[in-house]
Amino acid sequence: MDGFGRFLRECAGWLFYCLALMLLALALPQTVFDAESKDFILLLGAVGIWRYSMGAIHYVRGLIFLYLVFPHYRRQARKLGEAAQPSHVFLLVTSFRIDALTTAQVYRSVLEEAIDCGYPTTVVCSLVEMSDELLIKSLWSKLNPPARVKLDFVRIAGTGKRDGLAYGFRAISRHLPDDDAVVAVVDGDTVLTPGVIKATTPYFKLFPKVGGLTTNEFCEVRGSYAMSEWHKLRFAQRHISMCSMALSKRVLTLTGRMSVFRARVVTDPGFIADVENDSLNHWRLGRFKFLTGDDKSSWYSLMRLGYDTFYVPDAAIHTVEHPPEKSFLKASRKLMFRWYGNNLRQNSRALHLGPWRLGWFTCVVLFDQRVSMWTSLLGPVVAILASIKYSIVFMLIYLLWIGLTRLLLTLLLLTSGHRVGPAFPLILYYNQIVGALVKVYVFFRLDRQSWTRQDTKLDRGLQSYQRWFNTWSSRAMTFSAASVFLAVLMSVV
């Protein structure tokens, strides 16, 4: 009955959205739909050519990989048979301040996967609380794994995920893994689906230059309807984007939720140092360590070391999402601040690796990450200025354009295999505007970092003058950039 009730609610949502678009279209003058009128040209959104073309390229590349290229790779991997089996699998799980129910779900799935995969496996638990260790030992006793499955505990202080990973990597190094061993890094809120290890490990044999790969994600959100739909939209978009970048073997992030690496990568002292003590020397803000963004650090380290990265779309995990705030607006802004900060901190130095290392398409994508904060704001700002200067009709035209294009983008996401909902078009536009504003804000404050789950913030020990300079120079640059942006648009509208 719950499933049928949800179906009825979603049908009602789609009907309401389409009805709103029809009413908006009826409110517009007929000249809007005349192909020779200037209004029609505005409707086409010439200012969005760059944004829509980049989205279209990603979408086409994603479909090519998902439905043509990857099935070919999968057949090749299966032909390898036993030759593709790893000599040993390490499952490194990091847990800190996650509720007991989620922790039990996660470790049960990890231990069951270690038992069912059939490979010699060591589960490495990087923990802070003794209660987690007792819970894992209880699960271990109930499941009674065979002798080929081992359990290793690493106790750390609650100083952040980077330290937890580094201590776990060093613990794996002490096992002296050979070149055919692999390491799966699993977050403390990630539930593995059966067969995920067998679905991912053959690609390390198939592609000798691949140093790490990541997997498809689905989520269970313990929060409001809006928060749940927001996360589901993000994972659907992520799937298409990952497929697009996997076509070049340049997946731009090795998500901490569940990624698999060659053991020789995670035992490399340079890689461990990159994850544990990654930092940026900024021309204005000085040198500061990265508190969050270990997935971006691991990706950059692999690029620097000369490895490729890959994505396995048919290997899925389920994450248990705990929003940092009850309010959707507060929670989404907090998460955007962390995610976009991680992106922008890695962006500039990644571009310095150059197209000969990254490839031209990857460089264009990284460049687009830097300009998208402004191109995303171009449409609404022009619509507001035109409405003030000429007529409110321009705002209605813009809203109809947004409503139609976001509906189309939502329907295109059906090819991802992820469920889409009637709230997706609205959330897409919310992400465009609020996401762009958060990017602009964080771009001038790259040193400001904090975890959403942990009460951990970066303390650089700066003197009062340096703190004052960083704060006010960030404000001045934000104001200057926004003023130039508005001035340019006002001069052309």
pLDDT at position 122 is 96
pLDDT at position 44 is 44
What the block records as the tokens of 465 is 């003058």
Long-range contacts made by residues 453-458, C-beta under 8 angstroms, separation at least 24?
A: 453/96, 453/97, 453/98, 453/322, 453/324, 454/96, 454/97, 454/158, 454/160, 456/158, 456/159, 456/160, 456/291, 457/291, 458/288, 458/289, 458/291
pLDDT at position 285 is 86
How far, in Å, are 95, 156, 346, 447, 449 from residue 458 at the CA level? Answer: 20, 19, 17, 8, 6
The mean pLDDT value for 5-12 works out to: 78
- Give per-residue pLDDT as tens, 51-102: 788 889 999 999 999 999 999 999 999 999 889 999 999 999 998 878 888 8
Binning pLDDT at 50, 70 and 90, where does residue 3 land? Answer: low
Report CA 488 to chain centroid distance, whole Å.
Answer: 32
Residue 487 or 1, more confident: 487
pLDDT of residue 43 exceeding 50: no
Distance, in Å, from the CA atom of 133 to the CA atom of 151, rounded to the nearest integer, reads 11
* Burial class (CB within 10 angstroms; exposed 0-12, middle 13-18, buried 19+) of 467: exposed
- Give per-residue pLDDT as tens, 269-305: 999 999 998 888 888 888 888 888 888 899 999 999 9
Distance, in Å, from the CA atom of 91 to the CA atom of 168, rounded to the nearest integer, reads 10
The mean pLDDT value for 136-155 works out to: 94
The mean pLDDT value for 166-171 works out to: 94
Domain boundaries in the chain? 13-52+368-492, 64-328
Please state which architecture CATH assigns to domain 64-328: Alpha-Beta Complex (3.90)
Binning pLDDT at 50, 70 and 90, where does residue 41 land? Answer: very low
Closest C-alpha to 406, from 429, 434, 383, 385: 429
Mean pLDDT of the chain: 88
pLDDT at position 209 is 96
Residue with tokens 């189309």: 408
Distance, in Å, from the CA atom of 351 to the CA atom of 362, rounded to the nearest integer, reads 9
Binning pLDDT at 50, 70 and 90, where does residue 31 land? Answer: low
pLDDT at position 375 is 86
What the block records as the tokens of 147 is 């002798």
pLDDT at position 47 is 55
pLDDT at position 279 is 87
pLDDT at position 459 is 62
The mean pLDDT value for 446-466 works out to: 70
What the block records as the tokens of 43 is 């409707």
- Give per-residue pLDDT as tens, 172-201: 999 999 999 999 999 989 999 999 999 999
pLDDT of residue 463 exceeding 80: no
What's the chain look like in SS3? CHHHHHHHHHHHHHHHHHHHHHHHHHCCCHHHHCCCCHHHHHHHCHHHHHHHHHHHHHHHHHHHHHHHHHHHHHHHHHHHHHHHCCCCEEEEEECCCCCHHHHHHHHHHHHHHHHHCCCCEEEEEEECCHHHHHHHHHHHHHHCCCCCEEEEEEECCCCCHHHHHHHHHHHHHCCCCCCCCEEEEEECCEEECCCHHHHHCHHHHHCCCEEEEEEEEEEEECCCHHHHHHHHHHHHHHHHHHHHHHCCCECCCCCCCEEEEEHHHHCCHHHHHHHHHCEEEECCCEEEECCCCHHHHHHHHHHHHCCEEEEEEEEEEEEEECCCCCCHHHHHHHHHHHHHHHHHHHHHHHHCCCHHHHCHHHHHHHHHHHHHHHHHHHHHHHHHHHHHHCCCHHHHHHHHHHHHHHHHHHHHHHHHCCCCCCCHHHHHHHHHHHHHHHHHHHHCCCCCCECCCCCCECCCCCCHHHHHHHHHHHHHHHHHHHHHHHHHHHHHC
- Give per-residue pLDDT as tens, 356-372: 999 999 999 999 988 88
pLDDT at position 129 is 87
pLDDT at position 489 is 82
The mean pLDDT value for 421-437 works out to: 94
- % residues pLDDT > 90 (the chain): 56
- Give per-residue pLDDT as tens, 392-417: 888 888 888 899 989 999 999 998 88
Residue with tokens 């508190």: 291
- The 10 Å Cβ neighbour count of residue 131 is 11
The mean pLDDT value for 346-350 works out to: 85
Distance, in Å, from the CA atom of 306 to the CA atom of 146, rounded to the nearest integer, reads 37
Residue 263 or 372, more confident: 263
- Give per-residue pLDDT as tens, 200-249: 999 999 999 999 999 999 998 988 999 999 999 999 999 999 999 999 99
CB 332 within 8 A of CB 438: no
pLDDT at position 210 is 96
Residue 222 or 310, more confident: 310
